[in-house]
Amino acid sequence: MSDRIGEKELSELFLETGMNHHHAYSASDGVDPEWALFYAGYLQTRVWDRLGRVPTRSELIHLLVAADRAFQATGQEQEEWPVFYAKFFIESFSAS
């Protein structure tokens, strides 16, 4: 297993993923109802086993949607979304 990914590095990876997604969907100004599919594919190859084990793409999609729902429920005032998602993922993988 590789070194575990930290919150800061994962947060930066979420931001990178978001920028790449926005660029890929620039014609629609980043709008993509299936955004979690893009994110999961992008993240899976970069994170691999650094969350403690190799997550499936389906698991990543589920966690991305869950993180987004949880973030939306916070009112988005506490912290930026990449930091929130990183904490959400690390907590989810620590619990499993």
Question: How many domains are there within the chain?
Answer: 1
**pLDDT tier at 2 (50, 70, 90 boundaries)?**
low
In a domain, 2, yes or no: no
Rounded Cα–Cα distance for residues 63 and 61 (Å): 5
Would 40 be classed as within a structural domain? Answer: yes
**pTM score, two decimals?**
0.88
Q: Does 17 reside within a domain?
A: yes
Q: Residue 67 belongs to what domain range?
A: 7-95
* pLDDT single digits (tens) 24-51: 888 877 678 899 999 999 999 999 899 9
Contacts of 7 (CB under 8 A, 6+ apart): 83, 86, 87, 90
Q: List Cβ neighbours of 71 (8 Å cut-off, separation of 6 or more).
A: 81, 84, 85, 88
Could you tell me the two tokens for 53? 């084990």
